[in-house]
Amino acid sequence: MPLAALQSGAELKPQILFAPNARQSIDGVAATKGHVILSINDNVRGRVQILTPTATGWASKPVTLPDNATISIASASDKDDKAYLAVAGFLAPTTLWAMDAADPRPVQVKAMPARFDAAGLVVEQFEATSTDGTKIPYFIVHKKGMTPDGSTPTIMTAYGGFEVPMTPSYAAITGKLWLERGNSFVLANIRGGGEFGPAWHEAGLKTRRQIIYDDFAAVAQDIFARKLSSPKKFGIYGGSNGGLLMGVEFNQHPDLWNGVVIQVPLLDMIRYEQIAAGASWVDEYGSVSVPAEKAFLEKISPYANIRKGVNYPTPYIWTTTKDDRVGPQHARKFAARLKDYGIPYHFYEDTAGGHSGDADIEQGARLQAMQMVYFSQRLEGK
C-alpha cells in the first residue's frame, strides 16, 4: 500500500503471500526495495521464491539453485534489490550466491573449501511408510552406480525432537572417512523434528512419542527393501535426544542394526527430570508425576528395558564428565546395566568439554575418529 494512503487513514488489510502445505515449512523471509524473498523447505529441500507486487496482487517466481540443499537468506537490502543466499548440501560445502531480486539469476561468488572428494557420489531422496501410513522422507548419499544387493556399509542418523529440522548439510568428516571409502550415509527426517512445521513435531510429543521410533525403524526397513543396505551392514548414531532415539532403537529393534553409537544420551527416562536440565523438558517427554506419561516413559526408557538373553549389537556409548545439560549419569547407568547383564559394549567418557563433546579441535577429532573406527570394524568386515 502506498505511504500516502496509509497517512490518509486507509485501512491496512493483511494479505497471505504464501501458505505452506503439509510438506513445506517457511525458513526465512526478507524484503528488498521492490520484492519479498522467501526461503522454504519443500519436502526437506531448500527452495527460494521471489514475490513481487502487481496491480492485481502478488506474482511468485522460483529461483534456480542447487537441489538437495539447505538454502537460507544471508542478507538483503531494502535500499535496492540486492541479496545474498547461502547454499549447503551433502556433497558441496557452503556457497554464497549473489542475486538481484528484480532479475533473479543467482551467481556463486564464494565457496568454502571442499574437504573430501565428492566425485562419483550422488544424493537421492526416498520415502518410507511408517506404522500409521505416514510417508517419512529420507536422504541417502551413495556411490554412483552402486549395486543394490544389500552389501553397502551404511550409517544413518536422525534427531526426532524439539521441532529441530534435520536438513542437508556438509559433513566433511563423514565424507572423508566414510563416503570416500564407497560407503553410504542416510539422514532420516522422522517426526518430532521441524521439517514440516509444528504439526510434524507435535505428532510425537509425550505419550505419542512411539511414532518417532516407528518412523526411524520404517526408514531402515525401506532401505533394506530397496537392497541399498542390510542389517549386517547397517549402523546408526545420534546424540542427546538423538541418543535417546538410539537407546530405544537398540532395545526395540536389535535385529535391524549391526552398530549403534549412543552419544551424550538420555537413557533413564524414569529419573530424567532429576538429572541435570531434565526438568526443563517435560513439555517434550512428559513427566512421571502424570500417571499416563509415567506409564509411557516406563515402556520406552532404554535403561529400564534392557533384556537378558537378547542378541544385541555391541553398542558404543560415549559421554562427557562435564555435560551439564543431559548429564553423564544416563550413559554410565546404561553401561553398568549392560555389564551386569553380560551384554558386550564399548564405553568412553571424556573429562573435557560439555554436552557437545568438542572442547577443542583435538577432542572433536578424537571423538569422530573413534566413531568411524567403530563403524568400520562393525560394518566393513565380511
In tens, the pLDDT along 210-238 reads 999 999 999 999 999 999 999 999 999 99
SS3 335: helix
Determine whether domain 121-379 maps to CATH 3.30.420.40.
no
pLDDT digits (tens, 9 = 90+) for 276-287: 999 999 999 999
Residue 375 Cα distances to 152, 232, 276, 314, 372, angstroms:
13, 11, 30, 11, 5
Residue 351: which pLDDT band, with cuts at 50, 70 and 90? confident
At 1 the pLDDT is 60
Average pLDDT, the chain: 96
Q: Count Cα neighbours of 322 within 13 Å in the Cβ-side half-sphere.
A: 9
Q: What residues have CB less than 8 Å from 326, skipping those under 6 apart?
A: 240, 243, 264, 265, 266, 275, 276, 277, 278, 355
The pTM for the full model equals 0.95
Interatomic CA distance for residues 90 and 108, integer angstroms:
17
Residues with catalytic annotation?
A: 240, 355
**Quick check: 179 pLDDT over 80?**
yes
pLDDT digits (tens, 9 = 90+) for 198-212: 999 999 999 999 999
Interatomic CA distance for residues 143 and 180, integer angstroms:
9
SS3 46: strand
